[in-house]
Amino acid sequence: MKTIGLLGGMSWESTSLYYRKINEATRLALGGLHSARVVMVSVDFSEIEQLQHAGDWTACAECLSAHARQVEAAGADLLLICTNTMHKVAAEIEAAINIPLLHIADATAARIITAGHKTVGLLGTRFTMKEEFYRGRLEQHGLEVIVPDDHDTQIVHRVIYDELCRGAVKDKSRDAFVEIIAKLGSRGAQCIIEGCTEITLLVQAGHVDIPLFDTTEIHAEEAVAEALH
Inter-residue contact 80 to 7 (CB < 8 Å): yes
pLDDT, tens digit, 9 for 90 and up, residues 115-124: 999 999 999 9
Name the helix (H) or strand (E) containing 40: strand 38-42
**Catalytic residue status for 83:** yes
Residue 78 — very low, low, confident or very high, per pLDDT cuts 50/70/90?
very high
Nearest residue to 118 via CA among 211, 216, 199? 211
Q: Which amino acid is at 114?
A: T
Inter-residue contact 40 to 6 (CB < 8 Å): yes
Rounded mean pLDDT of 159-166? 96
Catalytic residue among 83, 153, 215, 216: 83
Residue 77 Ramachandran class (φ > 0 left, ψ -120 to 50 alpha, else beta) = alpha
Dump strand ranges (E) for 48-203: 78-81, 119-123, 144-146, 191-194
From CA 180, how far away is CA 35, in angstroms rounded?
38
Rounded mean pLDDT of 158-171? 96
Instruction: Give residue 136's pLDDT.
Output: 96
Domains 4-103+218-227 and 105-214 belong to one CATH topology: yes
From CA 103, how far away is CA 100, in angstroms rounded?
9
From CA 201, how far away is CA 210, in angstroms rounded?
17
CATH of domain 105-214: 3.40.50.1860
Residue 145 — very low, low, confident or very high, per pLDDT cuts 50/70/90?
very high
pTM of the model: 0.94
Percent of the chain with pLDDT over 90: 100
Residue 162 — very low, low, confident or very high, per pLDDT cuts 50/70/90?
very high
Mention every residue, 6+ apart, whose C-beta is less than 8 A from residue 162.
Answer: 168
Catalytic residue among 63, 82, 191, 196: 196
Residue 52 Ramachandran class (φ > 0 left, ψ -120 to 50 alpha, else beta) = alpha
What are the distances in angstroms from CA 84 to CA 34, 112, 122? 28, 16, 12
The answer to whether domain 4-103+218-227 has CATH 3.40.50.1860 is yes
Residue spans of the domains in the chain: they are: 4-103+218-227, 105-214
Residue 223 — very low, low, confident or very high, per pLDDT cuts 50/70/90?
very high
**Catalytic residue status for 3:** no
Mean pLDDT (the chain) is: 97
